[in-house]
Amino acid sequence: MTEMSTERNRNAYPLNRDFLASSRLHLQHQVWISSLGYHIHPDVPLNGKTTIAEIGCGTGTWSLEVATQLPSGAKIEAFDLSLAQCPPREWWPGNVTFNKLDIFDPSPDDMIGKYDVVYIRHFICVLQSGDPMPLLSILMNLLKPGG
């Protein structure tokens, strides 16, 4: 286990994963989307080969909604420390997968440089020492050149 992962485990996820927590996440999602007016900024080019990573997917609501808006062939890989709040596998659309991942652990080789878009939000409460730079570096490594 890495030093970063050990520190992360000592500072476990500070929120709950129960019904009320899932409801809170869903309502936050609705406020966020209604305020912005979009899920992915309209200037981001999407095509049938687009691969998106959602980091910290929580309930999976964002991924499930975006999946209906993507061109045919595009896909979303959603990740979280726990899949307890995600829908059961039989509810997943064909272009979405949910997987367990601690984003603060070293990225698996097959994820590096894979994604056209990396989506993340509401991560301020899990940043070590409040410094976003280590996380931003990890996320940038997941992007394809030009992503």
Reported confidence tier of residue 37, pLDDT bands at 50, 70, 90: confident
Task: Please tell me the predicted confidence (pLDDT) of residue 23.
Answer: 67
The CATH number of the structural domain formed by 3-142 is 3.40.50.150
Domain boundaries, the chain: 3-142
Q: What is the tens place of the pLDDT at every residue in 59-86? A: 899 999 999 999 999 999 999 998 988 8
Q: How far is CA 142 from the centre of its chain?
A: 12
* Tokens read off for 28: 């936050």
Tokens 């050149």 belong to which residue?
Answer: 145
Alpha-helical runs (H) found in 19-129:
19-36, 61-67
pTM flag (> 0.85): no
Give every strand in the sheet of 51-55, ordered side by side: 96-100, 75-80, 51-55, 117-119
What is the biggest distance separating any 2 CA atoms in the chain, rounded to whole angstroms? Answer: 42
Is the separation of the CB atoms in 66 and 32 below 8 Å?
no
Q: What is the tens place of the pLDDT at every residue in 1-22? A: 444 444 445 446 666 667 677 6
Cα dihedral value 49, 50, 51, 54, nearest 10: -160
Is the separation of the CB atoms in 141 and 112 below 8 Å?
yes
* Tokens read off for 56: 């910290």
- For residue 95, what are the contacts with CB-CB under 8 A and spacing of at least 6? 67, 70, 74, 75, 76
Question: What type of residue sits at position 57?
Answer: C
